Structure 1
Amino acid sequence: MPYIDDVFPADKSSLCYDPDGTVPEFVASVTSWKRPSQWTRTPSLFVDSTNPGDVEQGQLGDCWWLSALTVVSVIPDVLQRLFVEANEAEGRYTVRFYYQHEWKTVTIDDRIPCGKDGLPAFGHNTLKNEIWVCILEKALAKLLGSYEALDGGYLEEGVVMLTGGRPERLYVNNWSQNPGKQPWRKDRLWDKLVQYSTENVLMGTGISSSRGQTTDESKGLVAGHAYAILDVRETSDKKFKLIKLRNPWGQFEWKGPWSDASRNWTFQYRKEMGADTKDDGIFWMEFKDFCTYYDKITCCRLLNDSIFSFPMESKLKANLKNNLTFPYANWNRKRVEGAWDNECAGGMMNNMAFAKNPHFRLTVQKSGRFFLIIYRPYLSQDADAQYYRSGIGFAVYKGTDSNYKILPTDNSPNALLQYPVYARYNSIELDLDQGEYVITPCTMYSNRKGEFRFEVFSPNTFDIQPLEDNLRVGLCSSRGSRPTDDAPKMNSSITIGKNMISTSQQPLARSGKNLNTTPQPTKQPGSNMMTTYQFEFAQRNKF
């Protein structure tokens, strides 16, 4: 007998928050709920393996989620491990998602909202008889309360929920140009993307928009929209750096150089890159054009507590790519927790109350790569407005036994500030030398309460512990004033380990829905606030 989920019924209450009030426009596109056997004779959860061309967007504005599915689809192992149970005969599926910083399961039936043509109205597979996109979309809608909860979101959150990985956000323009009038260094961003691609870090991108989702017909690009990054490659003759992307619409592609029909494609290049002329939402761009139009990149590492810690449902028999390796999965991890309250919410480094923040002492026993991330408890969609008024970040201060009790000011040459952002996660990868560091989680403004978790990952040995000593802010300069002659001079960049950091700040925009966020404060005159949005990586030592 077909399974029926009474908790998430096949009616309008599952489509939107208030079915008796004003409903979103996408609700009108649903005329019925059907099981896959009602629109295809041979429904199957997976048909062979999964690939980016499987995913297509429907009438719901959940490009952030569908782009996350596209990004993850290159690793079929991940998608299949999401299914705890797949009873296709009864139409019952149990799926796991990484939600509120832990793995949670949700069980649904296979009744899918459909349109007038009798096919799925929202996200769906390209093949009519393949249904994993519909099932995962419905499972997430149930977890979050309704399909309306999916109407607008953030690519990084979608990838995290699918993988249990940890996100990092790179801002394209801040890698490309230096406010200190230094030469453009897009090559460093390119090297970083190539490295991440080699290490199977999942990546997506987007074009910010303050007016919601807008299309540019002449260029074939969509602002306020999420794209998947599928490949990062240089031609064999070293003449061109190319990026392969996909629009979750399954159509509407880039029309400039290196687009499907571009004359840039010679027979050799097309064969080498595997490029074709299908109108499937997949296209190539030259890296310099990518930097012109796209402004942020979402990266997600699969670490030791990711989806790979779970076995695969034995009934699923897709063609797996078991030759992939994930070096971050072997990294050591340590986590500390804390909170900002009335006594310890001191704001950023340019605030004299900065010393009131919680502090942790990081002991690096061997120089090498470190991934640092701060995040806060997951909030429901309707709490976003309140949440995003409280940007979160952290400072990293290189200390010694004699001076670590003096915290950095905004002019310190030994400090790095991961500038607070209005997001649930804020992270960075650094090269750190052997020694001791003070880690100070902070909010953008003082007196902003909230809990946080801070994690450190590295292939090397390290330790992090709460720092209970009484700390004070160094007196080398007052906030917003010019440093004294004895204070460190203001520089356009600083160095910690092998990392050179310059100053900048950038807002975060949502994909698929217009979200007006409070603008971040501008840098005060005379301040040398050390942020990492313009993070420039020097060449790393191989280890």
Structure 2
Amino acid sequence: MTTYQSKEEFYSMQKDLAPLEEPYVDLDFPADETSFGYEDLEGMNYNGFMRLSELCDDPQIICDGIDVNDIAQGSFGNCWILSSLAAVARYPHIIAHLFVKANVEMGQYTLRLFWRNEWRYVTIDDYVPVSSDGSLLGVRSKNPNELWPTIVEKAIAKIFGSYYKTDGGDGTLGIQIFTGCLPQFEYLKNHVSCTQEECDCEEEAKKKKKLKNTKKRKKVNTKETAEEEEEGVEEEPFGGLCKEDIWKSILKGVKNGNAIGFASENESGLGDTNTTESGIVDGHYYALIDACDYNGNQLVRLRNPWGCTEWKGAWSDTSKEMTTKVKRELNLRVTRQSKLIEELCKDTVLLPVVDTATDAKSRRKRNKAEKDDGVFWMHFDDVINCFSRMTVGHIVDIECFYKDENSFGYQFSPKLLHNVHQSSYFPTYRQILKHDEKDETCENEEGECILTQQFTLSVDRTCDVLIALRMIHDDMDKFNSYLELSCEELEIKCDGLYVFTGTRRRVPKGDYTFYVKSECRDEEFSDVEVTLVWENRKAQLTLNEEEVVAEEEETYEEEEE
């Protein structure tokens, strides 16, 4: 079965292909139950596959531009894919880059997706699963003739092996599939400033931290001390960004042209079958559409991939804070970046049609459409309380967006692309940590074999640094491998759900020891690539891999004050 091809393989085969004389049929991903993947066909209301050309009166890849609201999740549990797609749809030129070839009449499409560390070419037909009433079971656009979200969803299903295998996931992977980005994966409550109690009483948090730092510790091997530590007070959150730095990461991410998403808490244990009283769906993934400081209020604009069900708290569409004037100023605000995107995509079909008319009829029509479209504003404090994880996809490598051809025939300005995605201006350094005898291996509590590698990062002046990891596997599945990055001096501890992770921190001048932990797969360990991206071009960073020195187990007792 040929799931995808490299760029070279795809274009080599194109030379020998004759034009299609009848609608294309993809034999590698057949329109049947194997590609659908779900066992409970009746529960899914499955009624086979139909061609999009049969379901649409006038099928087009794009109608009225690329808009985040084009995406409405269907019956599949792939919110992580569709919210990632919405986060990326803020940059319509990236959506255009996904489409390599398109023959709407013959139902054949080739998409370009970043998979297993490089851009892959996936060719599909336009057969899609439908329900008993003949409607789409998967994602649909608000315009019934618009195809692009449905085509993207099918291409990913083919890569994974079935629609069922796209159920469940995290936006870290989704954003990377569409952009080839470097990941930043942050747990929002892994810092004392981000817990509910400490948000309500930050001064108390500072006092606790000061008291803790004044209590010096010395080594002692006594059974009593070990027991006391084991029975000690609940451990404070550790290793994540502080609340202030999370907000800075969001604003920087928006300014630098990156893609951002948030995963909601799942306190009920019911996943997305449960919606909280506040309107946030449990265990769900949301796209960030915008963020700003508005009259002293830290606000973010999010989107539910369902295209409905919104936040009901402060700054929501129906809240007292969201007056007509405020709604107009927030929803129609023009930024430097939006102007750049408009300039980049002018004379294309990519820009969304925005209704800015102020007459009463137009306002009523717009308000009706926005009543429950899944898009809402909320305060940053509420984001911290309602969501557990944040993903930032740093779009650093943009060369492909202006060098690769797309099915629309558009060519994008390299200069404008750099200005939209400002992370592409920053210095970047990559180094591979080779697995060899200097590394340490051990078993964790679950009996899994863990590899520990070590490197030193030296910085000659304070600067903001993205530290991203990826395991160099050529057989990556959707869920795959444990990978952790930690640095005690900088209070860093981050991991991810896949073979890559990363964090962005302000790093002072100095030398810092980092540990990288990864798990064994198929009785083999992977080399790990470390990528550094820093925002101060005058700064000099060096990375040296070192031998891991095993630490002795220690217990402590506090010195008397």
Q: Taking structure 1 as the reference length, what is the TM-score of the superposition?
A: 0.73
What are the residue-to-residue correspondences of 1:115-514 with 2, within 5 Å? 115-173=131-189, 174=191, 175-177=193-195, 181-182=205-206, 186-209=243-266, 210-216=269-275, 218-235=277-294, 237-238=295-296, 240-274=297-331, 276=367, 277-304=370-397, 308=401, 310-313=403-406, 315=408, 325-338=420-433, 344-346=439-441, 357-364=452-459, 367-377=462-472, 384=479, 387=480, 391-396=482-487, 414=489, 416-443=491-518, 450-451=525-526, 452-459=528-535, 460=537, 462=540, 464=542, 467=545, 472=549, 478-482=552-556
Which whole-Å CA distance do the structure 2 matches of 1:70 and 1:481 have between them?
49
Deviation digits for residues 166-191 of structure 1, max 9, x if unmatched?
A: 12122223352469832896444323
**Is the CA contact (8 Å cut-off) linking 1:71 and 1:229 kept in structure 2?**
yes
- Give the letter aligned to residue 291 of structure 1: I
Q: Which moved more, 1:24-33 or 1:245-254?
A: 24-33
Cα pair distance change 1:188/1:296, threshold 3 Å: same
Residue 440 of structure 1, CA deviation: 3.2
Which whole-Å CA distance do the structure 2 matches of 1:287 and 1:467 have between them?
38
Q: Which moved more, 1:455-464 or 1:69-78?
A: 455-464
Residue 218 of structure 1, CA deviation: 2.8
**Is the CA contact (8 Å cut-off) linking 1:363 and 1:435 kept in structure 2?**
yes
Which whole-Å CA distance do the structure 2 matches of 1:96 and 1:255 have between them?
38
- Give the letter aligned to residue 280 of structure 2: L
Alignment-derived partner of residue 218 in structure 2: none
**Is the CA contact (8 Å cut-off) linking 1:15 and 1:27 kept in structure 2?**
no
Residue 39 of structure 1, CA deviation: 1.8
Does 2:53 match 1:37? Answer: yes
Deviation digits for residues 473-502 of structure 1, max 9, x if unmatched?
A: 67xxx53422798xxx9xxxxxxxxxxxxx
Which whole-Å CA distance do the structure 2 matches of 1:103 and 1:111 have between them?
24
5+ residue gaps, structure 2: 1-21, 209-241, 333-366, 445-449
Cα pair distance change 1:211/1:343, threshold 3 Å: farther
- Give the letter aligned to residue 281 of structure 2: V
**Is the CA contact (8 Å cut-off) linking 2:73 and 2:307 kept in structure 1?**
yes
- Give the letter aligned to residue 13 of structure 1: T
Alignment-derived partner of residue 512 in structure 1: none
**Is the CA contact (8 Å cut-off) linking 1:360 and 1:464 kept in structure 2?**
no
Residue 295 of structure 1, CA deviation: 2.0
Cα pair distance change 1:5/1:314, threshold 3 Å: closer
Q: Which moved more, 1:120-129 or 1:26-35?
A: 26-35
Residue 375 of structure 1, CA deviation: 2.1
Which whole-Å CA distance do the structure 2 matches of 1:222 and 1:167 have between them?
24
Which whole-Å CA distance do the structure 2 matches of 1:10 and 1:157 have between them?
26
5+ residue gaps, structure 1: 18-22, 350-354, 397-411, 490-543
- Give the letter aligned to residue 33 of structure 2: K
- Give the letter aligned to residue 113 of structure 1: P
What secondary structure does 1:14 align onto?
helix
- Give the letter aligned to residue 302 of structure 2: L
Which whole-Å CA distance do the structure 1 matches of 2:503 and 2:399 have between them?
18
- Give the letter aligned to residue 34 of structure 1: M
**Is the CA contact (8 Å cut-off) linking 2:101 and 2:407 kept in structure 1?**
no
Which whole-Å CA distance do the structure 2 matches of 1:26 and 1:92 have between them?
29
What secondary structure does 1:205 align onto?
strand
Residue 215 of structure 1, CA deviation: 1.9
Q: How many positions carry a matched residue from both structures?
A: 449
Does 2:108 match 1:72? Answer: no
Alignment-derived partner of residue 34 in structure 2: 13
Greater per-residue helix proportion: 2
Q: Percent identity?
A: 25
- Give the letter aligned to residue 465 of structure 2: F
Which whole-Å CA distance do the structure 1 matches of 2:71 and 2:207 have between them?
40
**Is the CA contact (8 Å cut-off) linking 1:81 and 1:310 kept in structure 2?**
no
Cα pair distance change 1:480/1:307, threshold 3 Å: farther
Which whole-Å CA distance do the structure 1 matches of 2:243 and 2:490 have between them?
24
Residue 59 of structure 1, CA deviation: 0.8
Cα pair distance change 1:363/1:188, threshold 3 Å: closer
Which whole-Å CA distance do the structure 1 matches of 2:152 and 2:299 have between them?
31
Cα pair distance change 1:241/1:255, threshold 3 Å: same
- 87, 102, 105: which one pairs with 1:86? 102
What secondary structure does 1:264 align onto?
coil
